Amino acid sequence: MAEYDYDLFTIGAGSGGVRASRVAAAHGAKVAVAEEYRVGGTCVIRGCVPKKMLVYGSMFAEELAHAGNFGWTIEGTSFDWASLRDFVNRDVDRLEGLYGQTLSNHHVEIVAERATITGPHSVRLASGREVTAKHILIATGAWPATPEFPGVEHCISSNEIFHLEEQPHCLMVVGGGYIAMEFAGIFNALGSEVTVVNRTDRILRSYDEQIVDRMLHIAMGRGIDFRMHSQIKRVDKADDGCLQVDLGGTYPVKVDQVLIATGRSPNTEGLGLEAAGVELGEGGAIKVDEYNRTSCDSIYAVGDVTDRVQLTPVAIREGHAFADTVFGGKPRTIDYSSIPSAVFSQPPLAGVGLTEREARKTYGDVKVYTSDFRPMKNIFSSHPERGLYKMIVEATSEKILGIHMIGPEAPEILQMAAVAVKAGLTKQAFDDTVALHPSMAEELVLLK
């Protein structure tokens, strides 16, 4: 008889857990994965995928507004939140089914229960069933962090916003990160009055300041009200269902919904990690080594539950590397340098490598090349919005240290530019490349 019930028991069927489980199974391991909510995790069920769909839906407002300049006559347009919401949620259902099918096709057992760790090789399911595994992988992701103030129970997080019964006429978004900026842009485009409350004077702190300043200028021009150096003191629900938000001023701000988007915390509470001596770091994140191993030799962790980079593609790579290392006989690690990322604001921004501030701090002498231009598409719009691309290079060698941009389709363009940064190319490689005209991407080979 086998010493353990499974070779691998994964807790959490998000992007990292699913990839790790199916690859481990492909290597010949007997695998089970426990998921207490829905297969697919944050990204697929209540994160980047449905949010990007909402971005696409909201962009029609801008397109329709200047369709006449393209020669189109469109009459009687209206927006129905329920139609967009339900379409998005139906597609989430479809994707969940595909993720479950992928696991089943690789002979991974799906356990639709909460699982907690009871020892280095043991797990207890919510039903009371005890199972053992040679290796345990924790891939439980992260959860919205909620500040404490009176009336916080009247507020919602990014988990609930996809299921609102009605579109809020007035929405307050609390936070200055990418989740806050993306939902602020979505509902602003859909016609809601949006107020962003941030406790400091900086938003999107990990992105290049010049690019963020451009985004902030554009967002304000589109009507988003930013309240910097502000924090919620309390929220009271009025008899008419509206929320009275006290920001410390003379009069409270009246809104329909308050969205708390102040970051995400590793989802480790109640997992029983102490039973196996799994060490936690700051904020409850699981500490792991370069091979995703925790302080307990038989337990590993990948994705947002760790103290590394909270991005879906990173979790997927970590899960794959874990499975190859432990079950495939091919030990490998992840390189966390030059990871591209984007904010699907309106317009979107994206960046890879060092920001200008980081580059000057690290290298001292750097050169910065920019292109400040009005995208051709924006000529048809009433908004005089300009795109901005910038490239930071080491002064002597002109090796590219970072590329950052804001403008239509910036994330799509940056993905290929990120290859150049990762490969260690110089600006000369861009200068030697013939421009693809007319396009926005050609600005990357015309930087001055």
- Catalytic residue ranges: 437
Sequence-distant (6+) residues with CB within 8 A of 9 are 31, 32, 33, 34, 115, 123, 131, 133, 135, 136, 137
The Cα-based distances of 382 to 63, 68, 139, 226, 359 in angstroms read 11, 11, 46, 22, 36
Whether 68 contacts 367, CB under 8 Å: no
- How many C-beta atoms lie closer than 10 Å to residue 226's C-beta? 18
**Token pair belonging to 322:** 């874990």
Sign of CA dihedral 90, 53, 226, 144: positive
Q: Is 59 helix (H, G, I), strand (E, B) or coil?
A: helix
First to last CA, the chain: 69
Sequence-distant (6+) residues with CB within 8 A of 423 are none
Q: Give the bridge partners for 123, in sequence order.
A: 117, 131
242-279 burial: b if 16+ Cβ within 10 Å, else e: bbbbbbeeeebbebbbbbbbbbbbbbbeebbbeebebe
Q: How far apart, in whole angstroms, are the C-alpha atoms of residue 302 and residue 16?
A: 6
Provide the pairing of β-strand 193-197 with 122-125.
Answer: unpaired
Q: How far apart, in whole angstroms, are the C-alpha atoms of residue 17 and residue 9?
A: 10
